[in-house]
Amino acid sequence: MSDILKLVGARIKDLRKLRGLSQEALAEKAGFNISYIGFIERAERNISMRNLGKIASALDVGVYELFTYLKEQEELPEESTLKEVVSMLRERDPKDIEMVRNILIEIFQRMDGNSKKG
């Protein structure tokens, strides 16, 4: 599987979930068969520029937003812990990601509070 297909598929899945859409609902909005959306999200099929445009429109985003993971991936150091964390989060449900975010906020607030006391 190509990395670009994985990244674009993951981004489509994340955007779909953020909008509260099922694969079936996105497929209907974009004019595709439900199985096609699943294939794209799992990076099992290549996708044409025309179909990317249809999916972006159905998700109410610009086509460029389907490629934002690519830029993020390039900016991270090759062997970084942050890159590993981003990869793990990419596979998670948006609710799980929100929970991780809240935990990090709490940890950082405690750390900041402890450093001000010392």
- What phi, psi does 103 have (nearest 5°)? -65, -45
Quote the pLDDT of residue 72. Answer: 61
- By CB neighbour count within 10 A (0-12 exposed, 13-18 middle, 19+ buried), where does 113 fall? exposed
pTM of the model: 0.62
Quote the pLDDT of residue 117. Answer: 59
Quote the pLDDT of residue 98. Answer: 86
- The whole-angstrom separation of Cα 23 and Cα 64 is 21
pLDDT tens, per residue, the chain with 118 residues: 578 898 899 889 988 988 899 999 999 999 999 899 999 999 999 999 999 999 999 999 999 889 876 566 666 676 677 777 877 777 677 788 889 989 999 999 999 887 665 5
Q: Distance from CA of residue 28 to its chain's centroid?
A: 21
Check: CB of residue 14 under 8 Å from CB of residue 72.
no
- The whole-angstrom separation of Cα 72 and Cα 58 is 23
- By CB neighbour count within 10 A (0-12 exposed, 13-18 middle, 19+ buried), where does 70 fall? middle
Quote the pLDDT of residue 115. Answer: 67
Quote the pLDDT of residue 118. Answer: 53
Query: For the chain, which domains are there?
Result: 2-70 (1.10.260.40), 79-113 (no CATH)
